Structure 1
Amino acid sequence: MSNNNNSLYPQLKMAGLQENTTTNGMERGDNGHPQEEIPLQRLTSEEQRAAETAERQKVYELFKKYDTNNDDRLNLKELKVMIKGGLCRQMSRGLSHHLIHMNDRNGDRHLDFEEFYELTQNNKWLISSVMNEYCRLLVPLPNREIGDQIDGAYERQMTFCPPPLTMVIFSLIEVIFFLIDVIYFKDDPNNTKKVGENTNGPAAKLFIYNPYRRYEAWRFVTYMFVHVGIMHLFMNLLIQILLGVALELVHHWWRITLIYLAGVLAGSMGTSLTSPTIYLAGASGGVYALITAHIATIILNWKEMEFAIIQLCVFLIFCLTDLGTSIYRHMTDQNDQVGYVAHLCGALAGLLVGIGVLRNLKEQKWERILWWVAILVFFALLSAGILIHIFDPSHFPRQDYFPRNTSWESIRSNKL
């Protein structure tokens, strides 16, 4: 063996031997007898094979642990469970997709054992004790950057197909009817009210809740299309779009429509029962229904949502603050025209109907009981309100079967 190969094949020499010239791959000692070179590679090959076998066994045990359907392949869901099993709670949604894409040699969107073994050798963090450190360094926290991807079973249900346009459509209709009345009074010299505050326009007279025309049953719902003033309209539109779109991404349009309309109907029904002579305008009954619908979905999907406790606290703080402010205004301002009963009834309807119709990603036994309680309570209250309106006409003002102008002083607007 030439000296040029000594760097590739190190030699193990016996103690006391001196270095001599090399002949035909043999080394001579002090007695002149040739000594055979013993490559370390030959000594370590068996150890390497043993180490690799032990490594493969360890990886195989991990592979079988998460191969829940025993098909000798890991799918996307199983891989994500394995990664999150290492306490990588903030794992990006695209991470598992990326790992499978990189190592799926046969393109079947699964990892067999050989593909998985190669993945673990290239990504030691998968089976390493430093999993948490990897996650902290490489996986962005939710909402830290614009490009971050969300995680959580609830959030993964969000979809833009179909696009969440329900509350946008309702808002456009409300804007159109508002503009109709604004244009109607644009050149009226007798109109002394601010823009949008005159409730004698064609849209307002047709849709407002008029206690003297309760026989026109559509008014119990269509009053949501009438707003008194620009700020009244703007605040309702802003909040209902923000809250409604967030719900619609997960629960789809028809559920949000039911909740919104239930809040509007409950608002007018409650106001009619408690203040029979009050006119009503605005969509805040539906807006408050959307607020408490968020509380309903947090209750139903507590374990599936990211930061559920924080979200619940935010909505509860808002509701309690608004309730306290409303009570204060009602007691201190005699000219206060806000329909607080409509807010309260709309919020109650949103909570009850939300529990009844919103998606429950993982139903528990107690949630099924809660579902029945919510449905029964809502229909009991709604039925009682309808029956009182039908069979106790003395509780309400006498009906006016001829058109009459509405007065600003008698109108309660559903302002936030």
Structure 2
Amino acid sequence: MNSSQNPHHQKQIEEEQRYIHIIRVGSLKMDDKWREAAPVNDIEASSWIRIFRAFDTDHDGLIQCEEMQKTIRDSTYSFGFDHYELQKMSLYLEMREGKPVDFADFCYLMSKCKGYRLREYLFKAALTVTPRNQRIHVFSELQRYKCVPPPLFLIFLSIVQLAFYLYYVIDSSEGVWLSGPIPTMSPLIVSQFHLSELWRLVTYCLINVGIFHVIFNIIIQLAVGVPLELVHTWRIYILYLMGALFGSLLSLALDPTVFLCGGAAGSFAIIGSHLTTIVTNFKEMENATIRLPFLIVFAALDYALAVYQRFFAPRIDKVSMYGHIGGLVAGILFTFILFRGSKPSRFYTVSFWVSLVLSGFYIAICIALTVAPSLLH
């Protein structure tokens, strides 16, 4: 059957040809407030990638600035620009000082010129956590993203953590300081005396000890976690929860005589995941030479404080430092399990199965070490 006999295929060809007739969501007839918040519709979203590919004549994923400036002047309507938007795009291209435009840059510039404020912020956030070799797929999806579900998991989690911290500060009368309060009677924290209460294995991440830990976890969750949640949606929920689970299991296995509370395991899972992405895609990441050492130093400071609180803090009730390590391990392993990309390579396929097996061994060994003492008795 040829294409002329297939109505669905014929319709697809017609839509492919419509990229030069973009729906003018940014037209002057639209109310300005709606225009600022309006998501890109499906036809315009698909048109952006088609326009980009049409003018990427050598198919290297880049458009030279001079070439693009000439193109938008000659084919203004193809880009859906009015005169004002054309002037803005020309100005932004001049500011790039000849730096080539890839698809991620193209989407960001298009959103900026057409006044899609929300979408501009989404693209800017995604740039910080997405390797260049994965951006076409990610940004094509983000164009159709209508904030359903919205990236609110880590924002809401941060608010809850701050609320619990302030509640226990007031309730304990200890005030704000580096090593407390530690709500040892809380039904949420991990304790060797409540091993049957399985919810504690993850709910302990809601209770933070010390103001530095609160600030550290909120910064990581918002600055790194929210962009990751924007790109990977529900996978970040699993990553964070597995970080909390790995942290509690390791703490019970290696340091069962003390309590465990704090969101560091989840935050270290986010850090571990992002560091893994940076290391495995170092040349493809935005500002990798800055982000890598900064995250390592920032995480090291938080872990050093956890070691101090475990061994040197002037108080009887201690908090385990192994949650950080468990979260970091989970972040590294589940990066290969959850974030394989649209076209996984052989490396990522092998890494997926190796990480899955190692995760199973990790959980089994931690459970064995936790229950072994009671079985021996």
Query: Which residues of 2 match residues 13-412 of structure 1 at below 5 A?
Result: 76-85=48-57, 89=62, 102-104=76-78, 136-137=97-98, 152=132, 153-154=134-135, 156=139, 157-158=141-142, 159=145, 161-162=147-148, 163-185=150-172, 191=173, 193-195=174-176, 197-200=180-183, 205-252=186-233, 254-298=234-278, 302=281, 307-308=284-285, 310-311=287-288, 314-315=291-292, 318-319=295-296, 322-323=299-300, 326=303, 330=307, 334-335=311-312, 339-393=320-374
User: Could you list the per-position Cα deviations for residues 76-101 of structure 1 after superposition, in whole angstroms to 9, with x for gaps in the alignment?
Assistant: 54542354455683768xx7996897
Name 2:40's counterpart in structure 1.
none
**How far apart are residue 135 of structure 1 and its match?**
7.4
Q: Which residue of 1 aligns with 2:36?
A: none
Does the C-alpha gap of structure 1 residues 98 and 376 become closer, same or farther in structure 2, counting only changes over 3 Å? farther
Give the superposition deviation at 1:368.
0.6
Give how far 1:270 is off. 1.1
One-letter amino acid matched to 1:176: A
Q: Residues 17-59 of structure 1, C-alpha deviation per residue, up to 9 Å, x if partnerless? A: xxxxxxxxxxxxxxxxxxxxxxxxxxxxxxxxxxxxxxxxxxx
- Shift in Å, 1:277: 0.6
- Residue 350 of structure 1: CA displacement? 0.9
TM-score normalised by the chain length of structure 1: 0.56
Deviation at 1:349, TM superposition (A): 0.4
Structure 2 residues without counterparts, runs of 5 or longer: 1-12, 20-46, 81-92, 113-119
> CA–CA distance in 2 between the matches of 1:331 and 1:180?
24
Name the CA distance, whole Å, in 2 between partners of 1:367 and 1:292: 17
- 1:43 — aligned with what? none
SS at match of 2:187: helix
- The structure where helix makes up a greater share of residues is 2
* One-letter code aligned to 2:186: K
1:229/1:332 CA distance change after superposition, 3 Å:
closer
Contact 1:291/1:315 (CA < 8 Å) preserved in 2?
no
Gapped regions of structure 1 (runs ≥ 5): 1-67, 108-131, 186-190, 399-416
Letter aligned with residue 80 of structure 1: F
Q: Distance in 2 between matches of 1:381 and 1:276?
A: 17
Q: 1:174 to 1:73 in 2, by over 3 A?
A: closer
Summarize the Cα distance change of 1:295–1:160 in structure 2 as closer, same or farther, 3 Å threshold.
farther
Q: CA deviation at 1:291?
A: 0.8
Give secondary structure in 1 for the equivalent of 2:260: strand
The one-character-per-residue Cα deviations of 1:147-192 (angstroms, maximum 9, x if unpaired) are 587675425144462321110111122223233323434xxxxx4x
Q: Kindly tell me: are residues 349 and 222 of structure 1, through their superposed partners in 2, closer, same or farther at Cα, counting changes over 3 Å?
A: same
Higher mean displacement: 173-182 or 215-224: 173-182
Q: For structure 1, which segment, 224-233 or 333-342, has the greater mean C-alpha deviation from structure 2 after superposition?
A: 333-342
Label 1:138 to 1:211 Cα distance change in 2 as closer, same or farther (>3 A).
closer
Report the alpha carbon displacement of residue 267 of structure 1 after superposing the two structures with TM: 1.1
* Length-normalised TM-score, structure 2: 0.61
Distance 1:283 1:389 in 2: 22
Provide closer, same or farther for how the CA distance between residues 294 and 98 of structure 1 changes in structure 2, counting only shifts above 3 A.
farther
2:337 and 2:268 map into 1 onto residues whose CA distance is 17
Measured in 1, the distance between the counterparts of 2:268 and 2:56 equals: 37
Name the amino acid aligned to 1:259. Answer: L
Q: Identify if the C-alpha distance between structure 1 residues 272 and 369 changes in structure 2 by more than 3 Å, giving closer, same or farther.
A: same
Distance in 1 separating the partners of 2:74 and 2:157: 43
Q: Secondary structure at 1:279's aligned position in 2? A: coil
Instruction: Note if contact 2:269-2:332 (Cα within 8 Å) is conserved in structure 1.
Output: yes
Structure-2 change in CA distance of 1:320 and 1:134 (3 Å): closer
Q: Aligned AA for 1:258?
A: I
Q: 1:120 aligns to what?
A: none
